[in-house]
Amino acid sequence: MVNPFEDAPIDDYLPQNGNRGYRVSRYDLELAYRVSSNRLAGRAEITAVSLGSRDRFAFDLSQALGVSKVFVNGAKAAKYVHQRGKLVITPPQKIPAGGALVVAVHYAGVPKPVRGPWGEVGWEELTEGALVASQPNGAASWFPCDDHPSSKASYRISITTDSPFYALANGTLTHKQTKASQTTWVYEQPEPMSTYLATIQIGPYRKHRLEAPRGMVPMHAVLPSRLRADFDHDFARQPDMMALFIEKFGPYPFEAYTVVVTDDDLEIPIEAQGLSTFGANHCDGDRSSERLVAHELAHQWFGNSLTIRQWRDIWLHEGFACYAEWLWSEASGGSTADHQARAARHNLSRLPQDLIIADPGPTHMFDDRLYKRGALTLHALRLRLGDRPFFDLLRAWTTLHRHSSVTTDDFTALAANYSETPLRDLWIAWLHSKPLPALD
């Protein structure tokens, strides 16, 4: 099932995801979760505006969650059908173009990750607790949504769970209340956020505020007590990373930054808006994952504030975050960004040359070669422009498109303003051709 109403998918990389006919402005999620049974009950209120006169609307929602009630603008839906990952709703009356659309969905079930070409993503049960890692299409594993990166909205997330556990979601904690054996945590995320960046983290955690220079945004750690000593060593230079990235990329785009470390091991860290999640294996007392700490922090600018409109442009997330690793290496006394770039190019030259970075295809959009070649594209641009124009460009990029959706064409058009000569040859060689170019 691609789209209930249109032949053409919204995104060729994820043809089943995203929905037409409306634009969401806010999600209000009331969730209750039992850790022992991994059972989730929810009420999602979705505020949107109709983009055309329609008698039906669809949302993405996993079949693992059963829907019990649906209301549209306060009235019960005439009918709804939930099958093959789509919840199709027929309002009592046709909604006109520009009309208000407030949909309330009551649902419950045992959440599980969504299976896809990239493995399982979404709601994941831990040894004690749960986490959400939704990139690229796992948001529907825990709430009904318009699951596409171009659909950004504000959020209120309320999660009620067993009192011994700490519950975390995106944004600022605005309310916390304990009744008997249950605690309710309420978070407000005012800045627009894509569905795949929304997250819930539940575990045997404690929260700590990290020391940072005056004037820097608050930085927190949420983790098991047993990992605190290793964390204090492994993440000690995170405030310095923040200062460097603010200098290079512009102001940090959110009110605070939080790092979660789970009690379980994780294969890779998890990106989410305003926070990043690492496994216990990334906290070993040896700073062996410091490049990943830099990578995930950089995603707050490139991926969270500036979010791609189509998945084919994912190099705008991963290439920039990878390049941030190289910038941090140089600033912290390690290899220079130029040395890192030339080493990366040498390694790539020995691998198959079958990727077009500006359109890698769904199978390869998380290929490490895309990450490295995306970063190399930025370094090639830096060599062409010079340091001052290059970093002026990055700061302009994050300022002009703060909290919005972006494309490769947006970036290349802006870059033209910072070059004395045309950049077309650079873009063709690095973004639109398979052979690996030389670094001048």
pLDDT band, very low/low/confident/very high, at 24 (cuts 50, 70, 90)? very high
* Same-domain pairing of 88 and 142: yes
- Provide the edge-to-edge strand list for the sheet that holds 200-203: 114-116, 119-126, 129-133, 200-203, 166-169
Residue 6 has pLDDT above 70, yes or no: no
Question: Which of 134-138, 180-184, 208-212, 375-379 is predicted least confidently?
Answer: 208-212
* Same-domain pairing of 354 and 379: yes
* Same-domain pairing of 51 and 174: yes
* Same-domain pairing of 167 and 254: no
pLDDT score for 214? 83
pLDDT score for 7? 54
**Which domain CATH number covers 93?**
2.60.40.1730
Q: Is the dihedral of CA 240, 205, 254, 378 positive or negative?
A: positive
CB atoms within 10 A of CB 285: 12
User: What total number of domains does the chain contain?
Assistant: 3
pLDDT score for 415? 98
pLDDT score for 212? 83
Among residues 409, 377, 381, 410, which one has the least CA distance to residue 396?
Answer: 410
pTM of the model: 0.96
* Same-domain pairing of 316 and 241: no
pLDDT score for 194? 98
Question: Which of 1-10, 99-108, 122-131, 210-219 is predicted least confidently?
Answer: 1-10
Residue 3 has pLDDT above 50, yes or no: no
Domain with 339, as residue range(s), is 312-431
Q: Which amino acid is at 303?
A: G
Is residue 79, in this structure, part of any structural domain at all?
yes
Q: If you average pLDDT over every residue of the chain, what do you get?
A: 96
* Chosen domain end from 179, 203, 227: 203
**Could you write out the three-class secondary structure of 103-164?**
EEEEEEECCCCEEECCEEEEEEEECCEEEEECCCCCHHHCCCECCCCCCEEEEEEEEEEECC
pLDDT score for 77? 85
* Same-domain pairing of 168 and 227: no
CA dist., res. 301 & res. 307, Å (int): 9
* Same-domain pairing of 263 and 196: no
Q: Which residue has the tokens 């304990």?
A: 178
Q: What is the per-residue DSSP string for 301-353?
A: TBTTTEEESSGGGTHHHHHHHHHHHHHHHHHTTSS-HHHHHHHHHHHHHTS--
* Same-domain pairing of 294 and 171: no
Tell me what the mean pLDDT of segment 237-254 comes to: 97
Residue 35 has pLDDT above 50, yes or no: yes
Write out the two tokens for 235.
């993440």
Tell me what the mean pLDDT of segment 394-409 comes to: 98
* Same-domain pairing of 319 and 224: no
* Same-domain pairing of 194 and 212: no
